[in-house]
Amino acid sequence: MTQIAMPQPDPLILAKRERIIAGLKERVPAQWVITEEDERRPYETDALTAYRRLPLAVVLPGSTEEVAAILSFLSREGVKIIPRGAGTSLSGGALPQEDAVVVGVGRLNKVLDVDFTNRTARVQSGITNLAVTTHISPDGFFYAPDPSSQLACTIAGNIAMNSGGAHCLKYGVTTNNILGVRMVLLDGTIVDFGGETFDQPGYDWLSLVIGSEGQFGIVTEATLRILRACEGARPCLLGFDKVEDAGACVAAIIASGIIPVAIEYMDQTAIRICEDFAHAGYPLDVAAMLIVEVEGADAEIDVLLTHIEKVARENGARIVKVSKSEAESAAIWKGRKSAFGATGRIADYLCMDGTIPTGQLPYVLTRIGEIVAHHRLRVANVFHAGDGNLHPLILFNANDVDELERAEQAGNEILELCVEVGGCLTGEHGVGIEKRDLMEKQFTPVDLDQQIRVKLLFDPDWLLNPAKVFPLNLHPLPLGRAA
């Protein structure tokens, strides 16, 4: 058995399954209420595949009004609700429970309105992240947050997790790129937060909703900030014999006054795995490699890359390879972007997501190596170095129960290390179930109580995406500490 506990299903809810299904079918066309076991099966997990729970039913509403009718009905019946986008969460954010109904927003996948003059796009939340950019790219625009899963993941999921990506060093994460949302509350009330203006009046509801992991309501529409793309972008590849030098180089580039759009780090294990898969021309004999990308017109890019090359050489880079063509750029990125997939070909892995102060990089990398070795496992390090968001991939064999447990233990120790050096448990994947039981390492009981009090405003009975984010012993708020 794996370590993360989930609550026992409520027999009273299971007993009225037929009534719940009938109620759903009164509110959405029956074809969109999924009840057969084999059809529910695809919804039993997300990208944290070690955990599976078959939901009581799955419902796929086709409008905000249907979502409202569903939430109002389910909350009256006391049924737990698992909001779901595309199910790409790496932290178990979309993991169902046996006594819960999955409400999927996948059918809400349309672009409603694009306003290039005001640089906004209003979309339904079930649209995929990449589909937004694909829709507006013929006009030279893009939507900035670009998680690795952008081909599949939805805007709804991005909002729930406040997703990032490789380019947030310059463009920020989801919370910095959303102007407004339409959200359905548990009782079926439809509210609009924000709108088309830069700032919103009153409290900053978007701050609260974005990153609330589906625990405040279900977002059905969003107004996104879209940006005009620069004329071009080009990466360079820097190879180092010492891990410390690569870390120092990141700091030196930033301290020199340049903010590249991306600075990606890969260690030797990751380089070899990706090179094997993508044939990107990565140097196999270096200890660490950086991919640094800059944007602008050709002339601007030349100046920036010349400057970066100089800083890199001063910081011990042995290999400096500047992309000279679209094809070379694509190859450099193909290797990096296939890191998770390529790793998956050779082993199962747990993908960690802590963030650390970048000054701590060399120390943390050394300690990660020690922790993983202590648990007799291997690790590949791939991450967004510019903002200190680490993604150590702990390699293990899922058929070996003992290895999975050791991998989870090593993962927990790595995340605790991140907190210890002044960082945090999760930079972009979310807490979900995966980091739920570590929250007390980062926060005091009063910190968590304050967060829970905000949650209770939206969901006093813990029906929305329950058993996530907060340790189970804090559900509900202990009576003595209640408001």
Partner 1 sequence: MSASSLAPQNSLEVASIVRDAAARRQSIEIIGGGSKRALGRPLDAAITVDVSGLSGVTLYEPAELVVSARSGTPLQHVTDLLAQKGQMLPFEPADYRPLLASTGEPTIGGMVATNLSGPRRLHVGACRDAIIGCKFVNGRGEEIVSGGRVMKNVTGYDIGRAMAGAYGTLGVLTEITFKVLPRSHATLTLVYEGLSCDRAVALMSAAVASPFEVTAAAHIAEGNRARTCLRLEGFDASITYRAGRLIEDLAEYGQPQRLDAAPSKGLWREIGEARSIIEPADHVVWRLQMPPSRSAALVNSLRAMMDVSVLYDWAGGLVWLSHAPGDDVTAVRTAAKAGGGHATLIRAGEALRRRLSPFEPQAPAVEKLARGLKHAFDPAGILNPGRMYAGI
Q: Around Cβ 334, how many Cβ atoms within 10 Å?
A: 14
- Tell whether residue 375 is a contact of partner 1 (CB under 8 A): no
In the complex, the smallest distance separating the C-beta of residue 180 from partner 1, rounded to whole angstroms, is 11
Is the Cβ of residue 174 or residue 268 nearer to partner 1 in the bound state? 174
Distance CA 335, CA 137 (A): 23
Is the Cβ of residue 24 or residue 114 nearer to partner 1 in the bound state? 114
Residue 480 burial by CB count (10 A; 0-12/13-18/19+): exposed, middle or buried? exposed
- Tell whether residue 359 is a contact of partner 1 (CB under 8 A): yes
Distance CA 176, CA 364 (A): 28
- Tell whether residue 94 is a contact of partner 1 (CB under 8 A): no
Four-CA torsion 155, 4, 474, 411, nearest 10 degrees: -70
Which residue intervals of 394-444 are DSSP H helices? 401-420, 439-442
- Tell whether residue 8 is a contact of partner 1 (CB under 8 A): no
Structure tokens, 121: 């796009």
Region 305-334 residues binding partner 1, contact defined as CB under 8 A: none
CA quadruple 98, 103, 109, 111: dihedral sign: negative
- Tell whether residue 193 is a contact of partner 1 (CB under 8 A): yes
Region 265-284 residues binding partner 1, contact defined as CB under 8 A: none
Mask for 447-476, x = binds partner 1 (CB under 8 A): xxxxx-xxxxx-----------x-------
- Tell whether residue 422 is a contact of partner 1 (CB under 8 A): yes
Q: Which stretch binds partner 1 (CB under 8 A): 16-24, 74-82, 96-104, 190-198?
A: 190-198
In the complex, the smallest distance separating the C-beta of residue 193 from partner 1, rounded to whole angstroms, is 7
- Tell whether residue 479 is a contact of partner 1 (CB under 8 A): no
Mask for 58-87, x = binds partner 1 (CB under 8 A): ------------------------------
- Tell whether residue 92 is a contact of partner 1 (CB under 8 A): no
- Tell whether residue 112 is a contact of partner 1 (CB under 8 A): no
Is the Cβ of residue 75 or residue 442 nearer to partner 1 in the bound state? 442
Is the Cβ of residue 115 or residue 400 nearer to partner 1 in the bound state? 115
- Tell whether residue 111 is a contact of partner 1 (CB under 8 A): no
In the complex, the smallest distance separating the C-beta of residue 300 from partner 1, rounded to whole angstroms, is 4
Residue 204 burial by CB count (10 A; 0-12/13-18/19+): exposed, middle or buried? middle
- Tell whether residue 482 is a contact of partner 1 (CB under 8 A): no
Distance CA 427, CA 233 (A): 25
Distance of CA 240 to the CA centre of its chain: 29
- What is the DSSP annotation of 139-164? GTEE-S---TTTTT-BHHHHHHHT--
In the complex, the smallest distance separating the C-beta of residue 230 from partner 1, rounded to whole angstroms, is 5
- Tell whether residue 137 is a contact of partner 1 (CB under 8 A): no
Structure tokens, 126: 């079930």
Q: Around Cβ 259, how many Cβ atoms within 10 Å?
A: 11
Is the Cβ of residue 163 or residue 268 nearer to partner 1 in the bound state? 163
- Tell whether residue 234 is a contact of partner 1 (CB under 8 A): no
In the complex, the smallest distance separating the C-beta of residue 458 from partner 1, rounded to whole angstroms, is 8
Strands (E) across 331-439 are located at: 348-351, 378-384, 392-396
